[in-house]
Structure formats: C-alpha cells, structure tokens
Structure 1
C-alpha cells in the first residue's frame, strides 16, 4: 500500500500537543530522560509482553553499556521511525507521537553532549592514546570490582584507583623516557585526567537538564519536546523522512484495523475478561407471511445509534462520559505472532478500511476464513490510565441470529514509569556520634559515569557498533507503546468497578436496539426477549474471567 498522506512543505517545529497530555503519555515520555540502570525496565513486564535487554559483549565492554533513558529512546525511535519498520499497534489512552517526539528531544540533547565529549576525547584522549587506554582499563577494572557482591569490593576498587594514582605521580617524577618522549609520556598520563574534569562539567550540565525534564513531565508540567531536526529544509532530506514517519504513526493510531492474538486478547485493548451471547431462531411474528429480509449491518447500525445515547440519563447523576464508537476490522494473528500486517488495497486509505468494505465484511465474513467485523464502544478513563472497550458482533447463520458482547480492559501503565528522579545521596555515620547518621549529597554524575559517557560518545555516530558492544533494549512484538507495559486493572478497586459497571448498561442497550430492529422487520421477539431478560439478570453478578482461555 502506498502512503496516502499530504506532505506539504509548511515548516514548523513539532511540539508536544496539549491533546496528548495524559498520565500514560507523560510517564512513557519521561522514560526517555531517565538515568537508571537499563535492566530496570524488566520490572515493568506483564504476563504477556516481555522486554529483553541485550547484555554487553563481555566484562570489558560494560563501559559501553547504555542507561535506561539512552536505550529506551533509541529503541523507540528505531522501532517507530526506522526505515521499513513493521506496523505498530494502536496505543489507546495516550498519544504515541508525543512520546516519540520526547524520545527524539532526549536523543538530541544527548547527541549535543556527545559532540562535545567527542571533541574532548580527541583533544585529551586520541592525541594521547596510550594514557587514555591505560586509564580506561583502570576504570573498567575498578567498575567490575565495585559491582561484586563482596562487602570489601568497594574498598578494593578505591584502593586500586589510589594505587594507580600514586604510580602515576611517581611516573611523572621519574619517567624512563628522555627528550620528547619523556614529555609526551607525562602528557599522556595527565591529559586524560584533565579531559575527565572537562567532560564532568559537560555531563553534569546535561544530566541536570535531563532530570529537570524527567521531573517536570511526571509533575504534570507542560514541558515541550522541541525537535528542530524534524523541520524539513528541502524535499527528501532526513527531516522530511522523520516528519513523514510521524504522520504515518498518527495514521496508524487512527486505523480501524485490530488484531486478535488468542489469549492475549485484542492487541492494544487488553485481554477479554467477559463474554455474553444472545442466540435465538428467527421466526416470523405473523404465521401467514415471512418477516422482512434484513442483514447484520442493519442490526449493527441500530445498535450503534443506541450506544450513542449511553451518556444520556433521565436522572442527573453524572453517569457515562461520551464514548468513542467505532467499527473495527479484526484479524486473527495467533498468540505467538511476532508481527502483524495491516489490510491493504483499494478499500484501504491511510491504514483505515473504508466504510463500504467494513459493511461487506460485516454481512459476508461470518463463517470460515477472513477478517471479522466488530462494533466497539470505548471509554478512556482515569486520565488515560484505564481503557474500557466493549466489542459487539452480530452473525446470521441459517435461521439463527447471534449477538455477542465482549468486554476488554486495559489497565494503568506500570508504576515504574512514574518514579521521579531520586536525589543522589547516601547515609553515613557521624564522626563523633558514630551511632547516628547524616545525609551526604553525592555528585550528580560520578567518576565512573563520566568515563562511561566519554567512552561511548565517539561511537554514537555508528549505533550498530555501540549496540553490539554495550547492548540494547529489544522491545516486545507486536509492539505498541501502551499494551507493552500495561497492567491489569483488577488490583485497583475503583478501576475494576468502572470496568464491571459498564457491562450491564451496554448489554441492555445492545439488546434493546437489536430487538427493536427485529420487531420492525416482523420477527417474533418472544424468545429473544426471554433470553435477553435472563442475560440481563446474569450480568448483575458480572465478574472478570479469563474468557479467552478455553477448558478444552
């Protein structure tokens, strides 16, 4: 399918729009600015989607490892904007484009830092390569010692650095070389240390900026993601490609095609927790003549009209918020699918299946292979943290009409993403009153972190090599920003209540609209009414079940 987007040359700086300022958007966007250990992201895994972290190539390559923000932003940019990328699953309850823009902004800030660090490495490191390699080896060994679980490991790491420092001073005083090489050897020992001090100032300034943005997003601030590199200067340049991929991402977010992954439920909507069926024989109300012919689409259209009135109530008690009602074309992809393929052809425009094709699927593809049609009514609640979706499908097989209503619920984004930056400090014993402790502030960027950033900086110009050496994050597939790290809502009492309460009125509206359509077409609705009343009573005791796990 060709991209059907309009790419005018109106140059503008993309900013985080106010429409996407929901909690999940802020939480995931803030991850791009974090400075935690990269392995921490595994804490956010759920039952169905696992994030893997590729380890460094070896103990010596740990100096090239990324932190969480570096790995997350790079992984999201490559997955969402990379050339030839796979389709992306919709992220209900958040704005994926805003998250990607913050990832680009964070990457840009780090790229500017790395440009300065690369210059420092050239002046203070590359020109004095023997000394640089020696100091890097010392810090790599010190880092490995400090990460051991042995209680004395930290002391050994400190003693190692002190010992090397003493040897360096002795070498400066009495070097075995003479003439030019003596002075070069001294400079090779001193220059990397001076470069480390300059690099530390650069790293601290950038770390302070990143932490302020991280904190501002989680505090609800309106910090914008400025990405001037996405402003095209001429057709065909890199900025034009970024802008095109952002537009493609927005179009995929609005797509009406979804994917059923077995027990995982509909990707992006969550697992199916409840299912209610109304199936009865179609019999004419008048024995002397047949009922009027009708199609599944006629019933679905009537149900859609009834669902549009859900927010209205005869009693002014608040009630439902305005729902999103949409026709969906659902494709089965299997539980272990690693990618999806969106519909294509003349019946698809901007990843959206046209109305006449949706109607044809609704009326024709009810048995056997092919996509299926669902009418979805969806609420995004709790500032985007809860997404409730009720899916309705109507089938006509022989003389039997079957109406099925299923409930899907997508819970909040994992709390890991809502952790604000912790102050760098530690508790130490007082010198005199040793039984008491005091808080000591630590540097925002310690010595090991400066060395890590400086060593990585020259390699950021070629990410594949950096990923091969230091590792990276592998995102779960099929990937969507929301469902990859969403939790079940059932542990949150009020969220669970909201999901369960929505089922009863939706089920009754669906049945009422369907019965009215049947009556208008001359169908005897006696059995349908009895069955509907039974279901209406059963749904009073509705509870979450694993509706997609069949005991067979």
Structure 2
C-alpha cells in the first residue's frame, strides 16, 4: 500500500476535457471555497471554520518579522496548491458535491494575479528601496515596531504607533533641511529618506489595482461564479515545457482521485468526505428453508446487493406527483478502515485497481468474501447532493452472511454546508468617528482599500515570493487538516439547519423499505422463509421514524 503516482494506469493524453463529477447547479460549495483564494482577511480568520474533527492551524513565523505575515487569500491559495498539486503529495479524500479542481484552478489564478503584482512591487523595491538600503531598513524598522505596538490590547498602543510614524517623518524633514555633512553622501542620505516614501506611493497604486481585481473575483464567485480562470502555466507550449506538463498531469490526477470508489472509515469521524454516521438500522435473522423438505438454493451477498441496487434506481419514482427524490447517485464503495487519529491515507496499487478505482470483479469478491476479520468491506451507497452542493446525504448498505445469519445494515451519513466564513461577501472598509463640531454624533468614513501598513507588507514580501519556503519561515503559513479533503475539512453539521436536517431524516425511511423489500424478494426466490425477516422489517420501519439523529459511531462502552 502506498501513495499512487501520476501514471497509475490513468490516461493523461490530451483530449476534450469535461466535468466528470457533480452535476449542473451544484456550485455553491465549490465557489464558496474558491472565493477564499481571493480574500484579504487575516489568516487567523480561517480558524473559525474548524469543525469538531478537522482543524486547520496557522504556523506562526518569526516574531520579529510580522511584516511578512500572509493574509487569508495568500496563505489559503498557496497551501491548497502545494497540498493538491505538490510533488510527492499524500492521497486525498474525495470532495462530494463539489469540484475540487475548480477550487485549485482559482488558487492558481489568484497566485498568478499576485505574482504579477509582486513583479511590479519588486521593481519598485529595487529602484526605490534596495538602491537606498539604509533608508529602506530604517523605514521598515519603524513600520515593524509600529505593527508590533499596534497589536497590543492597550488602547493607547494604536496612538503610540501612529506617533512613532509621525516622529520618524518629522526627523526625516529635519535631516533633509539641515544635513550634518555635505557632498555625495549628503545627497545619498536625503535620497535614502525620500525615495522609499516615493516608492510607497507608487506601490500603493499597484496594490489598489490588484486589490480591486481580487475583490471583484471574490464577490463574483459568491454571486454565481461568473469569474473566468486564466492559468496559462498548465498549458504546455512545447514538448520541452516539463513543468507545465507535470502540473497538467497533477490536475488530471486530482480529477481521477476524486472519482475513486475507495473511501476511508475513521472511527468516530465517520466515512471521511461523507460525514459522521447519524443512524444505523440492522435486520439480522436466520436463513431457514421455506419448505423443510427442501434446502435453500445457494446465493451470495452480491445477489442481494445487486437486487437492492436495481430497486434503489426507482427511488425517484412514486405514485404521486409531489416532486419527491431527485435522481440519486448509486455506487458500489470499498470502505477501508483507518485510525481516528490517522495523519494520512494510502490507495492500493495492484491489478485490481485502475485509475484509483476497484474493478468490478474485485468489488464482487470483497462483497462475497471479506465480511469478517481484517480487510476492506463492501458497501452500496445511495447519495444525494442537495442545496446547491451544500448538503450531502449518503445511505450506505452492506450485506453479510455469517453461519446461518443474514444481516442487512443500513447506515445514514450527512455532511453539512461549508462554514459561513466562506460565504461572506466583501464589504467596504470604513469606520465610525465622532463629528468635529457635534461631538455627540457620529459619521461613517470610508477607508482606503489598501492601507498604509498593507502597502508596506505587500512591498516587503514581494521580492521573497519567488522563494516561498523562506517567506513561510519568516511570516508563517497555513497548515491544512489531515487526512485532507477540501469538502469535509470545513463542513458544518447539517442539524443546525432545520430543512437540511429534515431532508436527511426523511431520506432514511424510503431507502430502508426499498432495501428490505428487495432483499426479501431475493430470499423468497431462493427458498428462504421470510416471515421473521418481514416482522423484523416492519419493526425497523417504525423505529426509523424516530426523528432524533445520533452519533452512532460513539459507543458507550
């Protein structure tokens, strides 16, 4: 067992590219997460989106270099790019109800926009900063002290920080007017104090232009996704462009892994990507011949599963024209157990697997033989993607036969909407101040989109963006939760939303009854006495109407 590589039987040859996961209209979760690549909030804001099982962390940089700290969009887009496309990356968890490739493409686009901005800022830094290094270091020291002081909880700290900056400006004016020495070095000293300030005004224009572009993309995604993505770096212009070809193959690999039929069960965390198990119903009775003079006709678990599969395809039909179920996704899953605290997962590489998917004969063999002891297990899953991709309801069915007992187990899993942090739209930067004359009244003042400190931060970071490890060491970075899947990492519980909770609970009863009726039909066809199965099925049909979801994976033992 090990992490799959890019050529694991998957065809990376060029061709027409079409979406292979999700359906039309299921874009809310995709665009909400993609918008994070364009945001300009503090990076620590993403910690609010942590859920019970999966927690992002912010790796702090050097305390003396807070001027190099990233914002949320910078840290998110780099972290997602490196985790999803980086060389030697670990296996990923599927993101149901969304297109992770679209999020990655927006992260690449955001990085490209920022890289173009940083190229201009680097030129500004060289012309107005590095050539006049003494003055640049002095101004950066002042801003670093100002930033450190302003972060203190003391209310007087902000005023003190501003006073420090004003005092530095006054000192610069004094030095310009009355220089203690003459000649070349006098003019160089004057230029060292003035040119960094000129560069700041130049840099501000560049930063403002890029900030407007990023915010328009952020708002456009949340308004419906009418935002074009340009990532020319993934389109090889010639056979010699190995980096672009590798990036293109990694995107194809991401799509292939998204379609994998192998999922991982992490104990109380549930099936990773599908959410925790909120309900479980089991029908288990002995296989007794209907006619005592005859033996039961031999059958296998796969025969029962196949009958259930065929009947589940009829769920969208009903006797009344009431809307009912939308067409579900019905799929055979191979479930692999991992530890609750596992830091990574691995996908098998053997003849039974092709392009991250178990072949049909391997699925049947696991269904019929691996029912007790170690190894993977087979489940039949029926899944609905609802609320524009914000709610994932999955019912998992497994059939086992041990000695003379046939057991049919149906479990419910639900994955809720992405955290509200990702659905917040950009707001104008403003503050409320007292009126000068009528001091008992207040007024709202619009602030610049890119403030003084932000211009300095972006300009200071620009030359280092060409080497991200050094920049991350200085300013810090975002660490994603492992095992990483883009959808479940920032998902809320659906039970806080009344209608989402109703949808999850309502799906259980019809599925359970279809599963039982299909299984009993197979038993009758093979000469099994189904009286006890029918009685047990009726009892479960009553029990499933209990409206309370539970943490079914937390055993009180």
Shift of 1:401: 0.4
Cα distance in 2, alignment partners of residues 87 and 13 from structure 1: 23
Q: Which runs of 5+ in 2 are unaligned?
A: none
TM (normalized to structure 1)? 0.98
CA spacing shift, 1:271–1:204, aligned 2, 3 Å: same
Do 1:145 and 1:154's aligned partners in 2 also have CA atoms closer than 8 Å? yes
1:534 has 2:539 as partner = yes
Map of 1:416 onto structure 2: 421
Cα distance in 2, alignment partners of residues 252 and 174 from structure 1: 68
Cα distance in 2, alignment partners of residues 317 and 381 from structure 1: 17
Map of 1:450 onto structure 2: 455
1:187 has 2:191 as partner = yes
Cα distance in 2, alignment partners of residues 34 and 403 from structure 1: 48
1:493 has 2:498 as partner = yes
Q: Which of the numbers 315, 318, 323 marks the counterpart of 2:320?
A: 315
1:56 has 2:42 as partner = no
Q: How does 1:489-528 map to 2 (within 5 A)?
A: 489-528=494-533
Q: Which of the numbers 104, 116, 122 marks the counterpart of 2:120?
A: 116
The secondary structure found in structure 2 opposite 1:407 is strand
Cα distance in 1, alignment partners of residues 18 and 274 from structure 2: 32
Q: How does 1:240-259 map to 2 (within 5 A)?
A: 240-259=245-264
1:90 has 2:116 as partner = no
Map of 2:130 onto structure 1: 126
Moved more, 257-266 or 220-229: 220-229
Q: Which of the numbers 161, 167, 172 marks the counterpart of 1:168?
A: 172
Cα distance in 2, alignment partners of residues 153 and 247 from structure 1: 51
1:328 has 2:325 as partner = no
Provide, for residues 44-97 of structure 1, a one-character-per-residue CA deviation record: whole Å limited to 9, x for no partner: 000001110011211x21000000000000000000000010011000111100
Map of 1:436 onto structure 2: 441
Cα distance in 2, alignment partners of residues 171 and 150 from structure 1: 32
Map of 1:202 onto structure 2: 206
Cα distance in 1, alignment partners of residues 291 and 321 from structure 2: 41
Moved more, 237-246 or 105-114: 237-246
Map of 2:32 onto structure 1: 27
Moved more, 485-494 or 236-245: 236-245
1:337 has 2:342 as partner = yes
Number of aligned positions between the proteins: 550
The secondary structure found in structure 1 opposite 2:204 is helix
Cα distance in 1, alignment partners of residues 302 and 407 from structure 2: 13
Moved more, 194-203 or 235-244: 235-244
1:468 has 2:493 as partner = no
Map of 1:271 onto structure 2: 276
Map of 2:232 onto structure 1: 228
Map of 2:292 onto structure 1: 287
Moved more, 75-84 or 342-351: 342-351
Shift of 1:12: 9.1
The secondary structure found in structure 2 opposite 1:54 is strand
Q: Which of the numbers 52, 55, 60 marks the counterpart of 1:47?
A: 52
The secondary structure found in structure 2 opposite 1:461 is coil
The secondary structure found in structure 1 opposite 2:60 is coil
Do 1:390 and 1:405's aligned partners in 2 also have CA atoms closer than 8 Å? yes
Map of 1:399 onto structure 2: 404
Map of 2:84 onto structure 1: 80
TM (normalized to structure 2)? 0.97
Q: Which runs of 5+ in 1 are unaligned?
A: none
Cα distance in 1, alignment partners of residues 313 and 22 from structure 2: 28
Cα distance in 1, alignment partners of residues 8 and 191 from structure 2: 58
The secondary structure found in structure 2 opposite 1:540 is coil
Provide, for residues 99-137 of structure 1, a one-character-per-residue CA deviation record: whole Å limited to 9, x for no partner: 000000000000000011011111111111111000000
Cα distance in 1, alignment partners of residues 474 and 24 from structure 2: 39
Provide, for residues 206-227 of structure 1, a one-character-per-residue CA deviation record: whole Å limited to 9, x for no partner: 0000000001111114112211
Map of 1:545 onto structure 2: 550
